[in-house]
């Protein structure tokens, strides 16, 4: 297809309202549905500038611009509604990160694509509350940060301290948080406040390769590196007191704890293994895609089902991982304050997944359909009264945890009916990268990044200081921009703003 000028590309994009654009059919070949993306003025400029820079480039290396990736996903077989880009969208493998799409389970042609889930399967965020105030923590902040750093194994290739043999791993992959509960690493209430109650039932450990298991075995209960972190946070603003009180947050200055991590090497290997098998399935079933990174298989094919079974195992592993780190954080706090986690009221507010594909019921053109919803770099955000959210949140909607970048604020949102109708109950997941990791390393000095955090009064413990440039706030879009866009578009609603006072990183 001959390359078009930027102005020609713009003919296929139309601004619907102040926060939503449509991508018309024809923007890329073979689109089955239109695209939609949500932005505000500043994020719109970033999206369109990326497209402008790509015009005239042959794209032999690197990823396509995010808006083109939304278009390519719209060309996948069996997609319904729209291919949707959320405000934190940035280029990724196959699907852009922040691109979600739903596929009709009753369409024999419909596909599942590992690129629509991501390599870090069930990378997600968990938020715990405490009954502590900032005045309780401030005098011992450094000691508490050190205690957490000592308790949680962090960094590339870090090894866990939760005892685990091969049989334990098999059980954890199948049982998810039920394994953590049985082994004493989780509280019964933790499961209630977790997406899928911390266990995907279609998990089948026999579908996970020996190599994936070998990578996962030593890493359980570890934070890893990259954008993963554990943060001690303080409540900075409460926008919706009714929703906040349901979450056990009732005042500014209250201390919370946020854990952001995923399925480590096991999830990465599950995705890699599936991509190899799906390339073969595509040839056999004659599935054509616009971008070979969108390798996929029919949902009901052996390859499709094997992937969904192994992906569920990786998702369960990630929930066990976050549960293990919750256990370690509770121990660190209890030790520092010479009391028990229970007396500190260290309950899980909620645990959300960012990279996952799930079978859900949604309305499409006025009819209820069973869909396979791919959420890559996006968060489930179900509205009030939805049967799949906990009793505690039936009146407020599901809590949605939006982790900020290192040293910037994080948010808790709630799901809305409008989000359910427009984005299949999905919203943003974080800030979204603005610079590549390589550009961040070239342009930033790690000591300056650390000094800036210290100036803001943030204690930091980091296993790989020379990697902190990749996660510096300058490397990302502004998380407040992203959240305000989702709030203004009505696809989720602001409830709480949190700011970090201590960061533990890989």
Number of residues that this document lists for the chain:
506
DSSP string, 123-155: -EEEEEEEEEEHHHHGGGHHHHHHHHHHHS--S
Identify the sign of the CA torsion 171, 204, 74, 10.
Answer: positive
Nearest to 240 by CA among 494, 500, 506: 494
d(C-alpha 416, C-alpha 431), whole Å: 20
Q: Is 386 a catalytic residue?
A: no
317: which residues sit within 8 A by CB, 6+ positions away? Answer: 122, 172, 173, 176, 216, 220, 263, 264, 266, 267
Closest CA to 281 of 299, 297, 300: 297
Question: Any residues with CB less than 8 A from the CB of 74 and at least 6 apart, and which?
Answer: 23, 25, 28, 31, 32, 33, 34, 35, 82, 83, 101
Extract the tokens encoding 318.
């990630």
C-beta separation of 498 from 235 below 8 A: yes
Single out the residue of 84, 89, 9 nearest to residue 52, CA to CA.
Answer: 9
CB atoms < 10 A from the CB of 358, how many?
A: 22
Which of the residues 260, 347, 374, 429 is marked catalytic?
Answer: 429
Q: How far, in Å, CA of 406 to CA of 426, rounded?
A: 24
Residue 480 burial by CB count (10 A; 0-12/13-18/19+): exposed, middle or buried? middle
> Phi and psi at residue 47, in whole multiples of 5°?
-65, -45
d(Cα 403, Cα 394) in Å, to the nearest integer? 23
At 82, list the tokens. 């729209």
Using DSSP's 3-state secondary structure scheme, residue 252 falls into coil
Q: Cβ–Cβ contacts within 10 Å for residue 249, how many?
A: 21
Residues 6+ apart with CB under 8 A from 109: 77, 78, 298
- Whether the CB-CB separation of 102 and 80 falls below 8 Å is answered with yes
Residue with tokens 């009180």: 245
Token pair listed for 294: 């969108």
Q: Strands 459-462 and 492-505, how do they pair?
A: parallel
In the chain, the N- to C-terminal Cα span, in Å, equals: 43
Catalytic site positions: 429
């Amino acid at each position: 297809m001959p390359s078009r000028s930027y102005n020609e590309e713009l003919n296929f994009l139309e601004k619907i309202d102040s926060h939503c654009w449509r991508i018309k059919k024809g923007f890329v070949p073979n689109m089955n549905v239109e695209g939609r993306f949500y932005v505000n003025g500043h994020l719109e400029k970033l999206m369109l500038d990326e497209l402008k820079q790509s015009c005239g480039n042959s794209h032999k290396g690197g990823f396509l611009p995010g808006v083109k990736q939304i278009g390519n996903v719209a060309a996948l077989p069996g997609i319904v509604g729209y291919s949707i880009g959320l405000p934190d969208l940035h280029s990724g493998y196959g699907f852009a990160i922040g691109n979600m799409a739903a596929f009709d389970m009753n369409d024999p042609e419909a596909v599942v694509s590992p690129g629509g889930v991501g390599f870090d399967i069930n990378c997600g965020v968990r938020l715990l509350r405490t009954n502590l105030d900032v005045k309780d923590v401030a005098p011992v902040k450094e000691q508490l940060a050190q205690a957490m750093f000592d308790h949680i194994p962090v960094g590339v290739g870090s090894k866990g301290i939760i005892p685990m043999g091969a049989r334990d791993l098999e059980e954890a992959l199948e049982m998810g948080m039920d394994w953590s509960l049985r082994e004493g690493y989780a509280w019964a209430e933790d499961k209630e406040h977790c997406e899928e109650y911390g266990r995907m039932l279609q998990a089948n450990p026999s579908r996970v390769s020996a190599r994936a298991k070998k990578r996962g075995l030593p890493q359980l209960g570890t934070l890893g590196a990259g954008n993963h972190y554990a943060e001690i946070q303080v409540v900075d603003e409460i926008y919706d007191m009714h929703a906040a009180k349901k979450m056990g947050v009732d005042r500014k200055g209250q201390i919370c704890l946020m854990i952001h991590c995923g399925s480590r090497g096991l999830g990465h290997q599950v995705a890699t293994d599936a991509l190899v098998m799906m390339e073969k399935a595509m040839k056999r079933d004659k599935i054509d895609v616009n971008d070979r990174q969108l390798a996929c298989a029919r949902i009901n094919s052996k390859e499709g089902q094997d992937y969904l079974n192994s992906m569920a195992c990786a998702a369960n592993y990630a929930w066990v991982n976050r549960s293990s780190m919750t256990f370690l954080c509770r121990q660190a706090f209890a030790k520092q304050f010479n009391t028990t986690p229970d007396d500190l009221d260290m309950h899980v507010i909620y645990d959300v997944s960012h990279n996952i594909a799930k079978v859900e019921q949604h309305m499409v053109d006025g009819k209820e359909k069973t869909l396979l919803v791919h959420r890559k770099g996006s968060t489930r955000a179900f509205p009030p009264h939805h049967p799949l959210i906990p009793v505690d949140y039936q009146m407020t909607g599901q809590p949605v945890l939006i982790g900020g970048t290192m040293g910037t604020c994080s948010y808790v949102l709630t799901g809305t009916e409008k989000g359910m109708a427009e984005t299949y109950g999905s919203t943003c997941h974080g800030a979204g990268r603005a610079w590549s990791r390589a550009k961040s390393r070239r342009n930033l000095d790690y000591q300056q990044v650390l000094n800036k955090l210290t100036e803001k009064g943030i204690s930091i413990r980091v296993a790989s200081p020379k990697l902190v440039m990749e996660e510096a706030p300058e490397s990302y879009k502004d998380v407040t921009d992203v959240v305000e866009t989702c709030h203004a578009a009505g696809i989720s609603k602001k409830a709480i703003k949190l700011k970090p006072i201590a960061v533990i990183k890989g």
